[in-house]
Amino acid sequence: MVIEMGTHLAVYSEKNRSFLPVVTKLPLKPEGVRRVLGSPLRYCLGAEFLYLPEHVDQAGELKLCWARIGATAIPHVKMTRSLHEIGEYDLQSLEKLDDVRTGDRYIKRQKEKNGRFVPVDEFCSQSLIDGIARNPDVLGSVSRADFENLCAELFVRRGFKVDLFRPSKDGGIDFLAVQDEKTDPLIFAVQCKQPDIREGKARHSVGRPIIQQIYGAAKAWDLSGGIVVSGSTYSAEAKRFSEIKPAEMQLYSGADVLDWILQYRWNLDE
């Protein structure tokens, strides 16, 4: 086991929900770092060092990331050298320990609960996605809450990490979508709008004030940009506003959501 300044180096298996001791801390040159970033060991990489447990050949199926475990957390953490003796230690429990740090994890879904983010397995049910795929008209009857959860799930399947806020979050931000660019991640503020249904008529289009609100929130939070996803369409003024800085303000309509469902319906493994 590798110990540095009283801190135990470990790797965490998201699949088995347990820690494994690091048996090798391997310094890498830049070309080595690039190779590791494209491998199942990418989340075992901390700066220019690769943290390796035993049974490296099983890294892909175990979903590993590096971890540092401080002295105060050691009594609470189960560690083993044998994969056959691993004890469970779930992500929710891991998050509660102040003396445990981890690198990036395979987990891409986090939801705000009681003032903190906790990992979740899904934002919406597969049955909702399947139902819309079979009958696209169902999208129009999806509630606002379900539409927000659906969009969050689709963003994960498109390759983003998503932090879903509690309802009524200030600034109009429903969730943050993080696009990992290895060096400087791109972080977008996302607002989902499911306009009210008008009897016998199409839904209202989304107007410019909504676009300005999320653009302003993204600027205030110093984010990469804002994204609005609507179950309907957009007014001409809303489109013109987004076209001023297209890299910082993106608009997606109900047609885009349906395209994502068809394209990413079975993309379950983020």
Q: What is the mean pLDDT of residues 39-52?
A: 80
Q: Residue 138's pLDDT is what?
A: 93
Query: For the whole model, what pTM was predicted?
Result: 0.66
**Is the separation of the CB atoms in 231 and 256 below 8 Å?**
no
Alpha carbon separation from 33 to 38, 42, 47, 57, 185 (Å, rounded): 9, 9, 9, 18, 17
pLDDT at 77 over 70: no
| pLDDT of amino acid 84 | 35
Our separate counts of H helices and E strands in the chain read 8, 15
Tokens 């110093």 — which residue? 222
Residues 238, 211: Cα–Cα separation, whole Å = 6
pLDDT category of residue 85 using cuts at 50, 70 and 90: very low
Residues facing 3 on adjacent strands: 8
Which domains, from first to last, does the chain contain? 3-106 (no CATH), 110-264 (3.40.1350.10)
Higher pLDDT, 69 or 231: 231
Confidence (pLDDT) at 270: 47
Q: Alpha-carbon distance 162 to 107, whole Å?
A: 10
Q: What residues contact 242, with CB distance under 8 A and at least 6 apart?
A: 211, 234, 249, 250, 251
How many Å from the N-terminal Cα to the C-terminal Cα in the chain?
31
Q: Within 10 A of 104 (CB to CB), how many other CB atoms are there?
A: 14
User: 251 and 225 in contact (C-beta within 8 Å)?
Assistant: no
Rounded Cα distance between 160 and 260, Å, is: 13
Residue type, 54: E
Work out the mean pLDDT of the chain and round it to a whole number.
80
Neighbours of 76 (CB within 10 A): 14
pLDDT tens digits, one per residue of 154-172: 999 998 989 898 776 556 8
pLDDT value of residue 120: 83
